[in-house]
Amino acid sequence: MSGTTTACALLALTLPCIPAFAAASAVPSAADTAARIDAALAASYKPDAPGVTVIVVKDGRTVLRKAYGMADIAHKVPLAPDTPMRLGSITKQFTSTAILMLVDEGKVKLDDDITVYLPGYPTHGKSITVEHLLTHTSGIASYTGKPAYEKTMGKDLTVAQMIDSFKDDPLDFEPGTRYKYNNSGYFLLGAIVEKVSGMRYDEFVAQRIFVPLGMTRTAYEGHARSKAVQAVGYSAGGGGFAPSAALSMTQPYAAGAIVSTVDDLARWDAAVSSGKLLKAASWQRAFTPYTLASGKGTGYGYGWQVATMQGVPMIGHGGGINGFNTFAVRLPSEHVYVAVLGNSDSGTMRAEDAAFRAAAIAIGKPFPDFKAVALPAAALDAWSGVYRTGDGIQRTLRREGERFVLQREGRPPVTLQAYADNGFFIPGTLSWIELARGADGKAITMTLHQPDVDQVHARTGDAPAPRKPVRLDHARYDAYVGRYQLAPQFVLAMTREGDRYYAQASGQPKLEIFALDERTFFSDAVGAELRFDDAQPGQLVLRQGGRDTKGTKLP
């Protein structure tokens, strides 16, 4: 399960970690492969900090099975390869398989409206099918994206109470017309499994999937069949790592509540690869990207992302949940499977990066380590500008003193480091960009390379000049201090502490803002701007990500 922010939130997720250039090389021996993967990962995880467990399987044989870091820092318990951890959204592939088992048995139809199985669910006059839930195309609001989610995530709730918390929210879009990652959809799928099978979700996945496949350390958290001690989950903070915020596992449910080990996930992949549990046609459908009403593909099947990595077909999924981050990737044509489970949700190499590094080495196409080079300010300025994809995603390159940064509209900037005169990478990640010039020598395109897709951006103009804050009479700002309602559960609090001004969105940290003029305040850190209109007292407009959201001051 992955938490998200609302479109109008002041804070937004940073760019995903993205693999870099592939370097052609001969496929090494199994021993060399293990040594190379170990060397690539070991340096990223300290022995006295949270870490990861890793398994790499090729042609049915385990190439590497290892743990890095601590399972419990306070008690100095190291991670072991068979230490159970929360999977987060990797849970979704078990939920989708449960649904498809019921489809194969003739008890569920993918094109049925969900009200066939959940009578009375408000679909707002639209037809929402089971397949829409599986493919994140239902338009239903995701409960983890609601502003108040973090404040209530520690509370035990029944399945019905959780559904009540989001069922009346307006749809984000017409079902089948857009892809938007959605935990509510998979929560509803769990409810459908229960309604159709007559079993609790945890019982169904245990009895129908985990037990038959010998996955002894895999279970819905709280319903373990093994006495193995689960790893402690951590979050990074100013003073190091601390146990993550409490989360009731009644809330992630069928969207993210399963706990497992890399060994059990390897057993799971072996079963999937050999076609167990489902009819061949059902597995094929699960691995086929859904096509929207417009004819555009989504790159997502039923509980699996479907793409390519290093030019090789890839099926995978990650998970982000309190205290843990995970990633598992299948390369069917190469007979390679990699699972990485980490017991920190921040502050260490992401499981996704580790899995991609390991998988790339396993197929003989490792990602190189970029070597930083220094470029003069004039060279950086030549690349500065606004770049936009055909889908309207806008990113800006600009120099800030000695820093060269990349910022997606509505998100924080990230620092780049040059590796060539036209190439830059983000230190500590696998992300990289490549720029091209036109016949006149000026920048024309920027390509953001990702493991599953390359995003080409056309240069559309110069980077805007840095905004310079002005000094403001505090009494003027104090007239704006207060709480503003921007959505049913989204409130923005404006405060002042001495000479500093702050805005704080529901469930998010305070963010310092600066005056652009007497009525406009900004934060370049998240690409947001707040505007007040003296003609409409008590009103504000939040502009972020090219979108304006109005707010009204609360009494």
Query: Which stretch of DSSP H or E encloses residue 181?
Result: none
Query: At residue 463, what are phi and psi to the nearest 5 degrees?
Result: -65, 135
Distance in angstroms between the alpha carbons of the first and the last residue of the chain = 36
Q: How far apart are CA 315 and CA 301, in angstroms?
A: 9
Instruction: Give 460: exposed, middle or buried? Use CB within 10 Å, 0-12, 13-18, 19+.
Output: exposed
Q: How far apart are CA 141 and CA 229, in angstroms?
A: 35
CATH class of the 474-553 domain in this structure: mainly beta
- To which residue do tokens 């993550």 refer? 244
Instruction: Check if the beta carbon of residue 131 is closer than 8 Å to that of residue 110.
Output: yes
Instruction: Check if the beta carbon of residue 328 is closer than 8 Å to that of residue 273.
Output: no
SS3 154: coil
Q: At what angle do helices 183-197 and 91-104 cross, to 10 degrees?
A: 40
Instruction: Give 519: exposed, middle or buried? Use CB within 10 Å, 0-12, 13-18, 19+.
Output: middle
Q: How far apart are CA 496 and CA 126, in angstroms?
A: 45
The residue with greater pLDDT, 349 or 128, is: 128
Pair type for strands 234-237 and 482-487: unpaired
SS3 280: helix
Dump the DSSP string for 54-65: EEEEETTEEEEE
- Domain boundary assignment for the chain: 30-362, 377-461, 474-553
Instruction: Check if the beta carbon of residue 143 is closer than 8 Å to that of residue 163.
Output: no
Global confidence as pTM: 0.83
pLDDT-wise least confident of 23-37, 74-88, 503-517: 23-37
Closest C-alpha among 329, 214, 187, 339 to residue 277:
214
Label residue 505 by pLDDT band (50, 70, 90). confident
Q: How far apart are CA 330 and CA 56, in angstroms?
A: 10
Label residue 355 by pLDDT band (50, 70, 90). very high
16 pLDDT higher than 70: no
Res 279: pLDDT: 98
CA angle 47, 49, 51 (to 5 degrees): 80
338 pLDDT higher than 70: yes
Q: How far apart are CA 232 and CA 238, in angstroms?
A: 19
17 pLDDT higher than 70: no
- Identical fold at 377-461 and 474-553? yes
pLDDT-wise least confident of 23-37, 413-427, 443-457, 505-519: 23-37
545 pLDDT higher than 50: yes
Closest C-alpha among 534, 528, 521, 520 to residue 548:
528
pLDDT, averaged across the chain: 91
SS3 547: strand
> Ramachandran region of residue 428, left (φ > 0), alpha (ψ -120 to 50) or beta?
left
Instruction: Check if the beta carbon of residue 116 is closer than 8 Å to that of residue 131.
Output: no
Closest C-alpha among 466, 416, 471, 474 to residue 446:
416
Q: How far apart are CA 334 and CA 315, in angstroms?
A: 12
Res 507: pLDDT: 67
> Ramachandran region of residue 8, left (φ > 0), alpha (ψ -120 to 50) or beta?
alpha
413 pLDDT higher than 60: yes
Res 79: pLDDT: 98
Q: What's the rounded mean pLDDT across residues 376-382?
A: 95
Instruction: Check if the beta carbon of residue 189 is closer than 8 Å to that of residue 133.
Output: yes
Is the CATH code 1.20.58.410 the one for domain 30-362? Answer: no
Q: How far apart are CA 67 and CA 51, in angstroms?
A: 7
Q: What's the rounded mean pLDDT across residues 239-252?
A: 94
For the chain, percent of residues with pLDDT exceeding 90: 77
Instruction: Check if the beta carbon of residue 316 is closer than 8 Å to that of residue 329.
Output: yes
CA-to-CA dists, residue 131 to 145, 216, 275, 276, 315, angstroms: 21, 30, 21, 22, 19
Q: How many CA atoms lie within 13 A of 419 on its CB side?
A: 17
Amino acid identity of residue 210, one-letter, is F
Q: How far apart are CA 64 and CA 543, in angstroms?
A: 48
The residue with greater pLDDT, 237 or 473, is: 473
554 pLDDT higher than 60: yes
Q: What's the rounded mean pLDDT across residues 202-222?
A: 98
CA-to-CA dists, residue 137 to 130, 342, 392, angstroms: 10, 29, 20
Label residue 18 by pLDDT band (50, 70, 90). very low
Q: What's the rounded mean pLDDT across residues 373-393?
A: 94
Who's near 469: CB < 8 A, 6+ residues apart?
Answer: 514, 515, 516, 522
Query: Which stretch of DSSP H or E encloses residue 98?
Result: helix 91-104
- To which residue do tokens 């022995």 refer? 47
Res 489: pLDDT: 66
Instruction: Give 255: exposed, middle or buried? Use CB within 10 Å, 0-12, 13-18, 19+.
Output: buried
Q: Show the beta-strand stretches assigned E in 488-533.
A: 490-497, 500-505, 510-515, 520-523, 528-532
Fold for domain 377-461? Lipocalin (2.40.128)
Instruction: Check if the beta carbon of residue 179 is closer than 8 Å to that of residue 298.
Output: yes
Q: How far apart are CA 432 and CA 374, in angstroms?
A: 16
Q: How far apart are CA 529 and CA 440, in angstroms?
A: 36
